[in-house]
Structure formats: structure tokens, C-alpha cells
Structure 1
Amino acid sequence: KLQGVLLGLSNTAGVLAGVFGTAATGYILQKGSWDSVFQVAVLLYIVGTVVWNVFSTGERILE
């Protein structure tokens, strides 16, 4: 039961990232260049890395 919920949530997150990422890339390209697209990508990677390092632990959450 829990596996289906987790699969649904992760699949939804992946699809939404694809939809919004494509739309955002088109918008950025209308206003700027590919350099701007890659700068946004790098910024998102850095923010994700910082959040992961701040909140990640070695403890088991789900059993």
C-alpha cells in the first residue's frame, strides 16, 4: 500500500519538474540566452545540494 503512494508521489514530482522545466526554459530563452538557462540550472543544483546536506541524516525514517 505504501509503495503505491510513494510511487505516485515521486512520479508526479518528476512529471511536474518536466512540465515546469520546459516552460521555464522557453520563457528564459525568450528573454535571454542559453547562458541564463544554465545559470538557473546551476543555482537549482547548488540549492538542492545545500538543502540535502543540511537536512540529511543517516537515521532510518520508514520501517
Structure 2
Amino acid sequence: MSLAFAFSAWSRAGLYCNHQDLSPKYAGTLLGITNTAGALPGVLGVTAAGYLLDTTNSWALALFYPTAACQLFGALIYTIFASSERQSWS
């Protein structure tokens, strides 16, 4: 779990400044879209954790392992696809 949170620093390193780097004109719109995408797991994750806890009767299987997996997956996707290169449509 600690390793997953340590690696997730990559996905948070450019959270707000990256929108301004990508497109100064549309930075607010980009932040709104990505903030919505980031808020949905917070809503759906509570339901999923409750369901998994009822199903497995294990805090580790319901909360810690899915959290670690999501952190690692997010860090991997951000590391592969993230860029701060200015886009031509800006």
C-alpha cells in the first residue's frame, strides 16, 4: 500500500499546472472535465467498497487491495500517456 501511494506521486505531480501547459485558452474546461472524472471514483468507490466488504468480509480485499491496484493503474496510465506539450488547437 505504501508503495502504491509513493508511485501515485507521479500522477499528481502536474495535476493543475498541466492544464495550463496544454492549452491556456481551455484550461478551465480541461480542469472541469478531469475533475469530474476524478470525482466519480469517489462516489462509485464507496458503493463498491461496501459491496466488496459485504461479499468478502475482509477489509483487505474490500478496501486496501482495490485501492492499491487503482493507484498503480493510474500511475502507469499517467506515466505512459501524460504530456505537457502545447496543443495546436490552443
Query: Do the structures match in fold with TM over 0.5?
Result: yes
| 28, 52, 59: which one aligns with 1:28 | 52
Structure 1 unaligned segments of length 5 or more: list them. none
Cα separation, partners in 2 of 1:39 and 1:16, compared to 1, 3 Å: same
The Cα of 1:58 is off from its aligned counterpart by 3.4
Identity between Structure 1 and Structure 2 (%): 36
Q: Which has the higher contact order (CA 8 A, sep 6+)?
A: 2
2:23 is aligned to none
> Segments of 4+ in structure 1 off by > 6 A?
none
The number of residue pairs the alignment matches comes to: 62
2:82 is aligned to 56
Q: Which amino acid aligns with 1:41?
A: T
Cα distance in structure 2, aligned partners of 1:57 and 1:44? 21
Cα separation, partners in 2 of 1:46 and 1:11, compared to 1, 3 Å: closer
Cα separation, partners in 2 of 1:58 and 1:10, compared to 1, 3 Å: closer
TM-score (norm 2): 0.54
Question: Residues 2-56 of structure 1, C-alpha deviation per residue, up to 9 Å, x if partnerless?
Answer: 43x4454344334422220110010110112110120010001011111011112
TM-score (norm 1): 0.72
Q: What is the alpha-carbon root mean square deviation over aligned residues?
A: 2.3
Structure 2 unaligned segments of length 5 or more: list them. 1-25
